[in-house]
Structure 1
Amino acid sequence: MASKHVCFIVGSQSPLQFWTDPSHPNGPLSAQSSITTSFIPQKASIAEAKFQGGWDLIQVLPHLQELKQIINSGLFTKAANSNPIWKPESDGNFRLRSAWNTVRSPNPKPPWVSSVWFAGHTPKFSITAWQALQDKLSTRDNLHFLGPNHDRSCLLCNSVSESVNHIFFNCSYSAWIWQVILRRISERRKQKKSLSDEENWIRSKFKKKGQTYTLVRTLLTASIYLLWQERNSRLFQKKKTHKRFLLSRIISATRSRILALKLEDEDSEENQRISNSFNLPLFSKATDPKFCHWEPLAAYEIKLNPDASLASDTASIGGLLRDHLDWRPSPRPQGYNPISLLC
């Protein structure tokens, strides 16, 4: 399959054989009975046929047009060796991405991609969410082929038929968990009718990348993963977890992930409120320095600015001193940013 995407830059001392080299898609030229000529010796290399005799002989042999077309598609150089080139890439270098694109049929990305495969996602959470959004989880509703006597009741609430849209989040067990999470992100509403609707709401409401963007998506994928784990635990191990404990596990897993990422976000009221509800620090994005007015100091007085650092993960102190003659900036270490002397 890949051979049709590879060709050789043939050098003047290339050992590749003109008639017996197997790189042609249909096999060696010698095996193709329609292509024969006595002008090129049987043991001639491609380099000998090209650089010594040229391709002029093909011009006068109309019955070798197929051979001419095959040969003219190659690339030749005066270099000594032969080098393979990867035709899908303009520079001839092989790349796994272009190889993958040559053997697959690309399809447009589904809209929920940004809610599942976002930067900083947790792989095991995202894989389960990816399956759920495509309705590929082995819910009892999807296992109808087991027969009409197969129990289809939900393992979380033991009531209606178990399906993806029921488990996430219309089951009484999961609906309570999701309602608490929605209240924590300052959203008071009923759960949507389907998982796709919930994902679409998150994608539409939280568009700007940052800590809150990643937080709400991690909450969604973690909820899907841990609810599915709880469902399987009840089915295979006969173990049940109270919904309050499962909620605690979802929030704990989400907090651990966000704290590890240390993402920045705008210092808006909404972002601050959501971060506080999950007991998370909000790392504000650096903004342009603001200059403020300093009241005149009396002689020998000192004013310190303890919040002078422009970085979110460091701290520094800037200060101004005044002696009895004039204003003078306080001594500072080498490399100290003088702008931090201004609040």
Structure 2
Amino acid sequence: MAVLNRLPTLDRLRRMGLSEDDRCILCGDGQEDRDHIFAGCYYSKQIWVSLLHSCKVTRLTMDWDAELRWLCTCLKGKSLRVLLLKLAWASFVYHIWEERNRRIFRGDSRDCNGLLNCIRETIRIRVQGKVTCIDDVNRQLGIAWGIL
């Protein structure tokens, strides 16, 4: 739904007449649309940059379309890094949207570290037991993610 831009973000709900306020619930700054919530929001940026850092990747730009193009182009193969990055992206999108809904519907929130730990635990569970080749790069990634 996020890739197709079909999530019921506040800007879409406002255009349909179902909401008056379209301010981002995560950072309180900016219009909540797909691009902002997953790429422009300060809260989301902190999470994604931390996940990339754990994968030993540095990216300077944070733009939805640019990240999606980068992911589609670069994440090919079966290395541990590719697996971790694919899981990191999917978990990032899922948990950011879940956090947004948690704040709207439950009035509950987690700070960046709380959400980051939740995402990392989700990824650790998915990767556990799938690491077969233990070279230096995989060892460092495995240690960084707590799977070795």
Question: Structure 1 length as normaliser, TM-score?
Answer: 0.40
Shift of 1:239: 1.0
Which of 191, 202, 213 aligns to 2:71? It is: 202
Report the Cα offset of residue 268 of structure 1.
Answer: 4.5
Which residue number corresponds to residue 10 of structure 1? none
Q: Deviations over 1:112-158 (max 9, x none)?
A: xxxxxxxxxxxxxxxxxxx10110100012221117x7111001011
Pair 1:146-2:13 in alignment: no
Aligned to 2:16, the other structure's residue is in SS state helix
Q: Secondary structure of the residue that 2:86 maps to in structure 1?
A: helix
Q: CA deviation at 1:223?
A: 1.0
**Hey, which of these two has a bigger chunk of strand by percent?**
1
2:124 counterpart residue number:
255
Of structures 1 and 2, the one with the larger relative CO (CA 8 A, separation 6+) is 2
Q: 2:81 aligns with which of 209, 212, 220?
A: 212
* 1:257-286 CA distance string (max 9 Å, x none): 111xx32455444333322210223xxxxx
* Identical-residue share of aligned pairs (%): 26
Q: Deviations over 1:35-94 (max 9, x none)?
A: xxxxxxxxxxxxxxxxxxxxxxxxxxxxxxxxxxxxxxxxxxxxxxxxxxxxxxxxxxxx
Report the Cα offset of residue 161 of structure 1.
0.3
Q: Distance in 2 between matches of 1:183 and 1:210?
A: 17
Counterpart position of 2:31: 161
Deviations 1:289-311 (A, max 9, x none): xxxxxxxxxxxxxxxxxxxxxxx
Which residues of structure 2 form unaligned runs of 5+? none
For residue 222 of structure 1, report the CA deviation from its aligned partner. Answer: 0.8
Q: Quick one: structure 1 residues 207 and 272, their matched pair in 2 at CA, closer, same or farther if it must change by over 3 Å?
A: farther
Matched, 1:187 2:54: no
Alpha-carbon distance in structure 1 between the residues aligned to 2:51 and 2:76: 19
Q: What is the RMSD computed on CA atoms of the aligned residues?
A: 1.9
Kept after mapping to 1: 8 A contact 2:45/2:62: no
Query: Of 123, 144, 147, which residue of structure 2 is paired with 1:277?
Result: 144
Cα distance in 1 between the residues matched to 2:7 and 2:31 = 14
159, 162, 171: which one aligns with 2:41 = 171
In the alignment, the residues of structure 1 paired with residue 126 and residue 131 of structure 2 have an alpha-carbon distance, to the nearest angstrom, of: 14
Distance 1:146 1:172 in 2: 27
Partner secondary structure for residue 30 of structure 2:
coil
- Higher helix residue share: 2
How many residues align structurally? Answer: 147
- Report the secondary structure of 1:141's partner residue: helix
Q: How does 1:37-76 map to 2 (within 5 A)?
A: none
Structure 2 CA distance for aligned equivalents of residues 175 and 205 of structure 1: 20
